[in-house]
């Protein structure tokens, strides 16, 4: 039976109303958004790490508590798809209309979200460190940007290239959710005003913002693959230094060009500076190239 594109709605993690693109086969409605070249599909892992079933309902109202994580993941995946298509002309993470898959209720009280090369996965959080991680669009933008990076620069997820990989995911998280905090909407639901990371003041959440404080950690899981979530504070601060001086729209074109055109898998922080300076020069000339150069000099990357 073919599925007919239709619309419905649901309540997100905060109980908020969200319109949704979905599909119906006459019996059920499914979180399959067929309004783009590829589909956006949302699955439920039912708190396992292996059993993923399409999120469906017998009507077009996805309003039960267990559907909230899927409503947000589905809605925000569409929002981030639109960001890349409308701002950068990129059709999905591969540039060729790949289907986008999200899986919610992954694991048990899982305090993380990730891209595994095939799909985005969101934990429910334990209710203390995180609430459901699909509840914040900067998380979805962070994870989908890992997919873009995989198909472009291919930055290796360890040491400096890995910290750049993490930073570019935070940077496009900023462009989708324009504030310098990461995860503020889902981090420590019992505490207001805090976040997982700050791009304007990385030290606030124990990240370095200068090369002098780069943390040489072992390239192991326990060492955060050489500190990719710690040392990302340095390129994140360089981004803050850039986007607070030049036009935001210039910065996002410069970062997209560097990621998709110049950066390579083993790029160092110094290579990233060169790629961004060159991208600024290509697109806007030497004044903006100098802004980028100064932004990285300020964090000790010369």
Ligand X SMILES: CCCCC[C@H](S)C(=O)N[C@@H](Cc1ccccc1)C(=O)N[C@@H](C)C(=O)O
Residue with the closest Cβ to ligand X?
183
Is 163 a binding residue for ligand X by CB under 6 A? The answer is: no
- Least Cβ distance, residue 264 to ligand X (angstroms): 20
Kindly identify the residues of this chain, within the stretch 62-121, that bind ligand X according to CB under 6 A. Answer: 112-114
Annotated active-site residue in 88, 105, 142, 143: 143
Residues 6+ apart with CB under 8 A from 103: 42, 43, 44, 45, 52, 119, 120, 121, 122
**Active-site residue 252, yes or no?**
no
- Least Cβ distance, residue 13 to ligand X (angstroms): 14
Which range in 8-16, 132-140, 163-171, 273-281 contacts Zn ion by CB under 5 A? 163-171
Residue 295, classified by CB atoms within 10 Å of its CB into exposed (0-12), middle (13-18) or buried (19+), is buried
Cα separation, 60 vs 9, whole angstroms: 6
Is 182 a binding residue for ligand X by CB under 6 A? The answer is: yes
Q: Which of 146, 237, 250, 273 binds ligand X (CB under 6 A)?
A: 146
Take residue 228 and report the two structure tokens written for it: 């990719």
Element of type H or E holding 42? strand 40-44
Shorter beta-carbon distance to ligand X: residue 21 or 225: 225
User: Which residue in this structure is represented by tokens 């943390």?
Assistant: 215
Shorter beta-carbon distance to ligand X: residue 8 or 173: 173
Kindly identify the residues of this chain, within the stretch 224-243, that bind ligand X according to CB under 6 A. Answer: 229
Is 183 a binding residue for ligand X by CB under 6 A? The answer is: yes
| Of 141, 122, 142, 140, the residue nearest 132 (C-alpha) | 122
Number of residues that bind ligand X (CB under 6 A): 13
> Are the beta carbons of 217 and 230 closer than 8 angstroms?
yes
Residue 244, classified by CB atoms within 10 Å of its CB into exposed (0-12), middle (13-18) or buried (19+), is middle
Cα separation, 3 vs 238, whole angstroms: 47
The binder of 79, among Zn ion, ligand X, none, by C-beta within 5 to 8 A per type, is: none
**Active-site residue 36, yes or no?**
no
Q: Which residues bind ligand X (CB under 6 A)?
A: 112-114, 138-139, 142, 146, 166, 173, 182-183, 196, 229
Q: Give the residue numbers annotated as catalytic, written as ranges.
A: 143, 229
- Which positions touch Zn ion (CB under 5 A)? 169
């Amino acid at each position: 039976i073919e599925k007919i594109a239709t619309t419905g709605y649901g309540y997100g993690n905060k109980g908020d109303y969200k319109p949704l693109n979905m599909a119906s086969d006459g019996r059920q409605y499914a979180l399959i958004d067929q309004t783009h070249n590829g589909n956006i599909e949302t699955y439920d892992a039912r708190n396992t790490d292996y059993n993923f079933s399409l999120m469906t309902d017998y009507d077009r109202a996805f309003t039960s508590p267990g559907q909230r994580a899927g409503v947000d993941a589905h809605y925000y995946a569409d929002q981030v798809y639109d960001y890349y298509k409308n701002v950068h002309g990129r059709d999905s993470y591969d540039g060729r209309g790949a289907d986008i898959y999200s899986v919610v209720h992954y694991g048990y009280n899982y305090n993380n979200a990730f891209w595994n090369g095939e799909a985005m996965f969101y934990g429910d959080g334990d209710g203390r460190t995180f609430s459901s991680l699909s509840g914040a669009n900067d998380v979805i933008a962070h994870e989908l940007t890992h997919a873009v990076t995989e198909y472009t620069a291919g930055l290796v997820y360890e040491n400096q290239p890995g910290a750049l990989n993490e930073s570019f995911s935070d940077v496009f998280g900023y462009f989708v959710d324009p504030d310098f905090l990461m995860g503020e909407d889902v981090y420590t639901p019992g505490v207001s005003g805090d976040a997982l990371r700050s791009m304007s003041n990385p030290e606030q959440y124990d990240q370095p913002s200068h090369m002098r404080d780069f943390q040489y950690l072992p390239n192991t899981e326990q060492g955060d693959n050489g500190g990719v979530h710690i040392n990302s504070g340095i390129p994140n601060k360089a981004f803050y230094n850039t986007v607070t001086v030049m036009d935001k729209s210039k910065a996002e074109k410069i970062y997209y060009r560097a990621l998709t055109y110049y950066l390579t898998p083993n790029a160092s922080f110094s290579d990233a500076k060169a790629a961004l300076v060159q991208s600024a020069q290509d697109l806007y000339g030497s004044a903006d190239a100098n802004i980028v150069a100064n932004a990285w000099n300020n964090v000790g990357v010369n």
